[in-house]
């Protein structure tokens, strides 16, 4: 009888851990709208570039403005919220004469407080690419 109770308790514990997901506690993020703010890239060699940026979200689509000297480069396409990150898929064709990490593309970790949204990513070990935005 003790073995049966132990096995039932063990099975219950396993089901509890398998059934729980860290993302279950992530609130639903509604990005629809226009956001103004600042794009900053901090390269690992100490160089820092920053410019104003506008990012717009509409349904599953996004667009990002281009800054001076492509800081940021811009981008537009589809996006998807995945837990605590946002995955951007840019749909443009680009020339090869600049840092493509400046395109809003790939996976960014987000933090959101009220109308404030911060998207950041460590891209290819080159540096931190960050969008600090406020919803209009």
Give pLDDT, residue 10. Answer: 43
Instruction: With respect to residue 46, please indicate whether it lies within any of the assigned structural domains.
Output: yes
Instruction: With respect to residue 13, please indicate whether it lies within any of the assigned structural domains.
Output: no
Give pLDDT, residue 2. Answer: 55
Give pLDDT, residue 25. Answer: 59
Instruction: With respect to residue 4, please indicate whether it lies within any of the assigned structural domains.
Output: no
Number of structural domains the chain divides into: 1
Instruction: With respect to residue 23, please indicate whether it lies within any of the assigned structural domains.
Output: no
Contact (Cβ atoms closer than 8 angstroms) between residue 64 and residue 74: yes
Instruction: With respect to residue 2, please indicate whether it lies within any of the assigned structural domains.
Output: no
Extended beta strands in the chain, E state: 33-43, 48-58, 61-64, 75-82, 85-90, 106-113, 116-123, 127-135
Question: Which candidate, 39, 99, 100, places its Cα nearest to that of 72?
Answer: 39
Instruction: With respect to residue 87, please indicate whether it lies within any of the assigned structural domains.
Output: yes
Q: What is the pTM of this model?
A: 0.80
Mean pLDDT for all residues in the chain: 87
Residue 5 has pLDDT above 60, yes or no: no
Q: Phi, psi (5° rounding) for residue 43?
A: -70, 155
Residue 126 has pLDDT above 60, yes or no: yes
- CA 79 – CA 109 distance, rounded (Å): 13
Instruction: With respect to residue 5, please indicate whether it lies within any of the assigned structural domains.
Output: no
Instruction: With respect to residue 89, please indicate whether it lies within any of the assigned structural domains.
Output: yes
Question: Which candidate, 32, 40, 37, 38, places its Cα nearest to that of 59?
Answer: 32
How confident is the model over 24-39, as pLDDT tens digits?
A: 555 678 999 999 999 9
Give the range of the structural domain holding residue 99, as residue numbers without chain letter.
29-135
CATH number, position 35: 2.40.128.280
User: How would you label 23-35 residue by residue, b for 16+ Cβ within 10 Å and e otherwise?
Assistant: eeeeeeeebeeeb
Residue 72 has pLDDT above 50, yes or no: yes
């Amino acid at each position: 009888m003790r073995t049966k109770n132990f096995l039932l308790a063990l099975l219950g514990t396993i089901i509890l851990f398998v059934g729980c997901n860290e993302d279950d506690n992530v609130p639903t993020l509604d990005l629809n709208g226009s956001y103004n703010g600042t794009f900053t890239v901090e390269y690992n060699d100490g160089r820092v570039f920053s410019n104003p940026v506008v990012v717009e979200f509409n349904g599953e689509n996004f667009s990002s403005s281009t800054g001076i000297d492509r800081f940021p480069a811009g981008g537009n396409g589809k996006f998807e919220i995945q837990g605590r990150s946002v995955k951007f898929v840019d749909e443009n064709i680009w020339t090869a004469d600049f840092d493509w990490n400046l395109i809003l593309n790939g996976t960014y970790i987000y933090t959101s407080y009220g109308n404030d949204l911060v998207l950041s990513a460590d891209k290819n070990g080159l540096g931190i690419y960050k969008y600090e935005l406020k919803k209009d």
